Homo-oligomer: A and B are copies of this chain.
Amino acid sequence: MNQYKLYIGGEFIKTDQKLSVFNPYDNVLVGETYIAGKEQLEKAIEKALLVKKQMRDLASWQKYKILNEIADKISAKKDDLALLLAKEAGKPLKYALSEIDRAVQVFKIAAEESKRLPKEYFSIDWTPAGDGKEGFVKYFPIGLISGIAPFNFPLNLAVHKIAPAIASGNPIILKPARSTPLSVLELAKIIDETDLPKGAFSVLPMDREAGSQLVTDERIHMLSFTGSPEVGWKMKANAGKKKVALELGGNAGVVVSDISDIDLAVKKCVVGSFAYSGQVCIHVQRIYVHENIFDEFINKFVEGTKKMKFGAPEDLNTDVSVMIDEENAMRVESWVKEAVEDGAEILIGGKRKGTYFEPTVITSTKKEMKVCALEVFGPVVSIEKFTNFSEAIKNINDSDYGLQAGVFTNQINEMNEALNELEVGGIIINDVPTFRVDHMPYGGVKNSGFGREGIKYSILEMLEPKLLVKNTDY
């Protein structure tokens, strides 16, 4: 069993409050770390402020070198990190391995983007008032950033804040989820070995008071939060003058048109529905299938679901494992039950054993049911039929959320309609909404978020433009 100290700007420290992390699959202790209070946060803030100028003045090649070095070191520890991540999050090893690969990818892309920060150069003399002048915009780091990361991608969603912060020349203080702080503390050890100025990065699981200061403290210039909508939107109101980026959840939908590849759609949707027990912001929660192919789709989908192999997260063959805790498993169970009582039909699954909830397919749902209307964040998907494409689009839109959507079709006009009418941040044609590569812009509309991540896009949000107007004929 491992001890993990907190990482405060170059120092590994302990506090009075211990935090034990257990594997949700077998309740075995994975590791122990500490909870930071206001005192530790204050230290982290002060250290960060001290290196602000130094961070701003790093040359491109220095940031590039640091970020690539982190990527290489993560890569070298891939197996250990994946196992740790699998255990603390109960995430099947195959997905944990892919998460490590993605974290490596994020640091590499951030390295490349650090050399390509936006800069503008344009003519000012559009009217005689601007005669003999030219304009330049140089983007400077916005200042100290606080990042708050969720349990479901303990490493990669933290890395989506850390890597852009370094690339843009900002110090960052990261608060991981209490249930899954270990892999990012392991990352701290890696980062500590690089030339990143000490103070530019801290990782602190926090108590409530410190956590709330992360939101309100005016010395922090940006808050980047990934988590639940309820918590996120409240933070926006309390954030004072700082910029806020919110990556929240959703109830992502898929449309399967009659002119499309059914087998592809089934294969992608089964994985999109049940991977990591649906504990993914863009998990497939609602599928709308054209009536002509509905029965075939349902049959094939249930068959596909049966093949999902349950097991321990550490096992490379496991497709589905447990949920993060029993509380969540019980919540999902009760939502499904409520739906069934209100007329929904379970096609497969529906049972809970401790923290495990079976991959569950339901139909005959109503849109007001919690399993449809709220973010289920569990291995539950509803499949319903539609008659015409526009109706399916409306079904997807009939939601408070709007993160991503998938559309299986081979028709140009349906693709156009999807792009124009779907109220979401991203539309994936012939793939599930669960599709994400790390350099694409990612984020939701409506209740699902505020701003975009995806390295280049995060970097842009972490920069402040400064205009220089200069004479040219002086």
**Within the assembled complex, what's the spacing in Å between the Cα atoms of A53 and B19?**
52
**Within the assembled complex, what's the spacing in Å between the Cα atoms of A288 and B424?**
39
Q: Is A129 an interface residue (CB 8 A)?
A: yes
Q: Kindly list chain B residues whose C-beta atoms are within 8 Å of the C-beta of A131.
A: 59
Interface centre among A101, A127, A137 (most CB of B within 10 A): A127
Q: Kindly list chain B residues whose C-beta atoms are within 8 Å of the C-beta of A352.
A: none
Q: Is A117 an interface residue (CB 8 A)?
A: yes
> In whole Å, how far is A32's beta carbon from the nearest beta carbon of chain B?
35
Residues from 420 to 451 in A contacting B, C-beta threshold 8 Å: 420, 422, 424-431, 435, 437, 439-442, 445, 447, 450
Flag A34-60 by CB within 8 Å of B: 1 or 0 each: 000000000000000000000000011
Q: Is A28 an interface residue (CB 8 A)?
A: no
Q: Kindly list chain B residues whose C-beta atoms are within 8 Å of the C-beta of A337.
A: none
A127 touching B437, Cβ below 8 Å: yes
Q: Is A3 an interface residue (CB 8 A)?
A: no
Partner of A126, one of B60, B120, B243: B60
Q: Give the nearest-CB partner of A131 in chain B.
A: B59
**Within the assembled complex, what's the spacing in Å between the Cα atoms of A467 and B121?**
13
A440 touching B124, Cβ below 8 Å: yes
Q: Is A307 an interface residue (CB 8 A)?
A: no
- A8-16, A232-240, A324-332 - the one binding chain B: A232-240
Flag A235-263 by CB within 8 Å of B: 1 or 0 each: 01110110100000000000000000000
Q: Kindly list chain B residues whose C-beta atoms are within 8 Å of the C-beta of A474.
A: 410, 412-413, 416, 430
**Within the assembled complex, what's the spacing in Å between the Cα atoms of A437 and B439?**
27
Flag A397-414 by CB within 8 Å of B: 1 or 0 each: 000000010000111110
Binding site secondary structure of chain A: mixed
Q: Is A193 an interface residue (CB 8 A)?
A: no
Number of interface residues of A (CB under 8 A): 78
Q: Give the nearest-CB partner of A446 in chain B.
A: B241
> Given contacts A424-B466, A468-B419, A473-B416, is CB(A119)–CB(B126) below 8 Å?
no
Q: Kindly list chain B residues whose C-beta atoms are within 8 Å of the C-beta of A431.
A: 133, 469, 471
> In whole Å, how far is A244's beta carbon from the nearest beta carbon of chain B?
10
Q: Is A304 an interface residue (CB 8 A)?
A: no
**Within the assembled complex, what's the spacing in Å between the Cα atoms of A177 and B158?**
45
**Within the assembled complex, what's the spacing in Å between the Cα atoms of A128 and B64?**
12
**Within the assembled complex, what's the spacing in Å between the Cα atoms of A59 and B126?**
8
The complex is assembled from copies of this chain, and their number is 4
Q: Is A464 an interface residue (CB 8 A)?
A: yes
A128 touching B447, Cβ below 8 Å: no
Q: Kindly list chain B residues whose C-beta atoms are within 8 Å of the C-beta of A189.
A: none
**Within the assembled complex, what's the spacing in Å between the Cα atoms of A135 and B440?**
8
Residues from 110 to 138 in A contacting B, C-beta threshold 8 Å: 112, 115-117, 119-138
**Within the assembled complex, what's the spacing in Å between the Cα atoms of A310 and B470?**
32
> Given contacts A410-B411, A431-B469, is CB(A241)–CB(B124) below 8 Å?
no
B469 touching A129, Cβ below 8 Å: no
> Given contacts A61-B125, A123-B119, A241-B450, is CB(A441)–CB(B465) below 8 Å?
yes
Q: Kindly list chain B residues whose C-beta atoms are within 8 Å of the C-beta of A87.
A: none
Q: Kindly list chain B residues whose C-beta atoms are within 8 Å of the C-beta of A116.
A: 122-123
Q: Give the nearest-CB partner of A471 in chain B.
A: B430
B123 touching A120, Cβ below 8 Å: no
Q: Give the nearest-CB partner of A449 in chain B.
A: B241
Q: Is A415 an interface residue (CB 8 A)?
A: yes
Q: Is A109 an interface residue (CB 8 A)?
A: yes
Q: Is A156 an interface residue (CB 8 A)?
A: no
A127 touching B112, Cβ below 8 Å: no
Q: Kindly list chain B residues whose C-beta atoms are within 8 Å of the C-beta of A410.
A: 411-413, 474
A115 touching B121, Cβ below 8 Å: no
**Within the assembled complex, what's the spacing in Å between the Cα atoms of A121 and B123?**
13
**Within the assembled complex, what's the spacing in Å between the Cα atoms of A233 and B242?**
10
A128 touching B59, Cβ below 8 Å: yes
Pick 21 A–B contacts, CB within 8 A, sort by A: A60-B123, A60-B130, A101-B127, A105-B127, A119-B122, A121-B138, A126-B437, A135-B440, A138-B419, A233-B240, A237-B238, A411-B411, A412-B415, A412-B471, A415-B470, A416-B473, A419-B472, A425-B467, A428-B469, A430-B470, A430-B471
Query: Given A427-B466, A429-B468, A441-B465, 5 more contacts at CB 8 Å?
Result: A105-B127, A129-B437, A130-B437, A415-B468, A452-B465
